[in-house]
Structures are given as structure tokens and as C-alpha cells.
Amino acid sequence: MLEDSLDLMKLKELLQTSLEDKLDNKLLDKLPSGYSVIGDIAIFRHISQELSDYKSQIGEIVIYNDPQVNVVVEQLSTNTIYRKPQIYHIAGEKRTITKHKEYDAIFHIDVAKITLSPGNKGERGFLINTVQDNEILVDMFACIGNLSLPLVISNPSIKCYGIEINDEAFKFLIKNIKENQVVDRYFPIHGDNRNTTPNSIATRVLMGYFGIDKQQFLRAEDAIKGEGWIHYHELVERDNIKKSKKKIQDLLKSANSEIKLDDTRIVKKYSPRLSHLCFDLHVIK
Ligand SMILES: C[S@@+](CC[C@H](N)C(=O)[O-])C[C@H]1O[C@@H](n2cnc3c(N)ncnc32)[C@H](O)[C@@H]1O
């Protein structure tokens, strides 16, 4: 994220040094210590209210020091099932559309409309190393191809059906499939996965969403042909992972086939209390 001199001098220290003549010690201590970068847009999360008058200066300092950044925004929260972020411009060009590259995949994205978590990069890498030749994937929460597009690009024998309910995300999904030249292997489906998930087709189903319901889980089970994997994502209280495993075990009891919890992986730390976990479920029909 941060390059060259900024790597050596951490963001908070840089901001403190740059703003020490303007802020008192209390405010210097509240300066942010990190941001994520999507394409050429730096995204801060929740800069302290008390620093409101200094946000544009913070943004200008980042643009001056981080060669990959041309735009700086603040993201306050995401809401609704579509995970639409609330984005406020802080500094640089007034745009929210950019082109992001990860694992050879190019993502066109509007950061004001769609979330793409850099924290999920490890999970994308795990999937690339795990999926075998000739697999058929169903990505039930495709968004703009976040999890499944890098997989399809990484192996020319893999095919994917990607389902997305949100019009805006679906438009970018189509654009990204074309941009990455996988139109013959990535099949986008626009709609609610509760009634658009294809049956008996997949070796692997990706469920990258928090708050999956039972109907969606059963659709994932139906999507598997013979034997395969469901990667089920969940936000979990860090000190109560047992409770989440129990919830998964109860869900497995409602399945029609034999499904075993094979592995549990931490995708990322989500908040001081919550972790983003992925449960690998092995299905045998
Ligand atoms: C948080 S994004 C996750 C993207 C990606 N799976 C990942 O893990 O990085 C969830 C996406 O699922 C979509 N979504 C939510 N409910 C859906 C449903 N019932 N059917 C299809 N897509 C849905 C949202 O519009 C959003 O684009």
C-alpha cells in the first residue's frame, strides 16, 4: 500500500510531523494510522470527527507522498444487502471510479457504489492455489467478480457462473469479464441467488457474504454435482468461535446430503471484536 519513503516512515508519524504546527497533542494522537488503496484511490475509514477541519490536508499529504494515489476519500459505513459504501471526497480528483489490479485480474470499480476488500486478498490467493483443473464454480455473491474472477483468470480450464443481484455491481461484473477476456468461461447471472442458482453443475460454490440464510445454503447444496465444496463466509465473535461452529453444524443437519465441516479459516480481522471466517464444507451426494 505505502511505497518507498512512506514505508519507512509510517503514515501516522508522517501526518504528525506534517501537521505538528497546526494540531495540539490530543489531535495529533487522533490522526489516522492507515488507509487502503483500490486502484489509485486511497480510502480512509472513520477519521475522527475532531479532525474534520484537517481532512483535506491529510488527503493532500497522502497524495504528495504516495505515488499510486490520485484521489483520497473517506468511507463511513456500508449498508443494505448490497453493501453500498458511504463515500466522502477528501482530496484530489473528484471521481470514485478506478481500475484496480490484483492477481492478474483487472477490476473496474466505483468505490462509491461497491466494496472490494483488500483484506480478502489472502482468501483469493488461497482459492487460486486450491482449485483444480477443469473445475466448475458457482459464485453466489459475485459482486464485480471479487473472489471468482482472479480464479478464472488463473486457470484457463476453469469455468464460473457468477450471480449478482445489484444492477450497478452486475454492470461492472460484465465489464470486468470483457476486460479480462473470459467471456467464454465466466457466465454472469443477474438476479437473486435464491431463485437463479443453477442446479447440479458445480465442483465448488463460493458464498462470500455475511448473513447467508438457510434457503441460500440449500441452493448451494443443490448447485453441487456429485461431490464438491462450499466455501461459507461468516462474521464471528473472536472469543466465541465455538458458537459459530455450532450454528454451522446445525445448518448442516438441515442438508439433504452428507456435508462435513472440513476446515475453518480466518480471512481477516474485521473489527476489534469480530473476525471474518470461511468454513470449508465438503459435500458428498
Ligand atoms: C460483500 S459483496 C461480496 C463480494 C465477494 N463475494 C467477496 O467475498 O469479496 C456481496 C455481494 O452479494 C450481492 N448479493 C447480496 N444478496 C444477494 C442475493 N440474494 N443474490 C445475489 N447476489 C446477492 C450483493 O449485491 C454484493 O454485491
Q: Are 86 and 114 in contact (CB under 8 A)?
A: no
For residue 10, the tally of other CB atoms under 10 A from its CB is 13
| Residue of 165, 189, 214, 217 to mutate, ligand 1, most atoms within 8 A of C-beta | 165
Measured in Å, residue 173 CA sits from the centre of ligand 1 at: 12
CATH number of 4-95: 3.30.300.110
Minimal-distance CA residue to ligand 1 atom 6: 208
Average pLDDT over residues 177-204: 98
Q: Which CATH class is domain 117-284?
A: alpha beta
**Euclidean distance between CA atoms 278 and 285, whole angstroms:** 22
What are the boundaries of each domain within the chain?
4-95, 117-284
Residue % of the chain over a pLDDT of 70: 94
Average pLDDT over residues 109-133: 92
Q: Which residue has the higher pLDDT, 240 or 139?
A: 139
Is pLDDT above 70 for 82?
A: no
Q: Are 121 and 150 in contact (CB under 8 A)?
A: no
| Selection from 175, 179, 173 nearest residue 160 by Cα | 173
Q: Which residue has the higher pLDDT, 237 or 1?
A: 237
Amino acid identity, position 188: P
Q: Which residue has the higher pLDDT, 271 or 163?
A: 163
Average pLDDT over residues 97-118: 93
- Angstrom CA distances, 196 to 140, 165, 187, 253, 281, stand at 9, 10, 12, 24, 21
Pocket lining: 172 vs ligand 1, CB cutoff 6 Å: no
Q: Are 169 and 148 in contact (CB under 8 A)?
A: no
- Angstrom CA distances, 264 to 80, 236, 257, 276, 282, stand at 27, 11, 20, 11, 12
Is pLDDT above 60 for 136?
A: yes
pLDDT of residue 3: 41
pLDDT of residue 81: 59
Average pLDDT over residues 108-130: 92
pLDDT tens digits for range 216-267? 999 999 999 999 999 999 999 988 888 888 889 999 999 999 999 999 999 9
Least confident of 49-63, 87-101, 240-254: 240-254
Most confident of 5-14, 112-121, 177-186, 264-273: 177-186
- Angstrom CA distances, 29 to 21, 32, 33, 95, 247, stand at 14, 9, 10, 30, 41
| Selection from 106, 105, 103 nearest residue 129 by Cα | 103
Mean pLDDT of the chain: 92
Measured in Å, residue 33 CA sits from the centre of ligand 1 at: 29
Is pLDDT above 50 for 4?
A: no
Pocket lining: 120 vs ligand 1, CB cutoff 6 Å: yes
As to burial, measured by CB atoms within 10 angstroms (0-12 exposed, 13-18 middle, 19+ buried), residue 282 is: middle
Average pLDDT over residues 27-34: 94
Pocket lining: 207 vs ligand 1, CB cutoff 6 Å: no
| Ligand 1 atom closest to 142 (CA) | 6
Residue 279 φ/ψ, nearest 5 degrees: -100, 125
Is pLDDT above 70 for 40?
A: yes
Amino acid identity, position 104: D
Residue 72 φ/ψ, nearest 5 degrees: -125, 130
**Euclidean distance between CA atoms 132 and 227, whole angstroms:** 14
Average pLDDT over residues 15-23: 96
Residue % of the chain over a pLDDT of 90: 84
**Euclidean distance between CA atoms 121 and 268, whole angstroms:** 9
**Euclidean distance between CA atoms 47 and 57, whole angstroms:** 13
Pocket lining: 83 vs ligand 1, CB cutoff 6 Å: yes
Pocket lining: 109 vs ligand 1, CB cutoff 6 Å: no
Pocket lining: 278 vs ligand 1, CB cutoff 6 Å: no
Pocket lining: 148 vs ligand 1, CB cutoff 6 Å: no
| Selection from 123, 173, 110, 176 nearest residue 143 by Cα | 173
Side-chain-side CA neighbours of 207 within 13 Å: the count stands at 31
**Euclidean distance between CA atoms 94 and 77, whole angstroms:** 20
Is pLDDT above 60 for 45?
A: yes
Is pLDDT above 80 for 77?
A: no
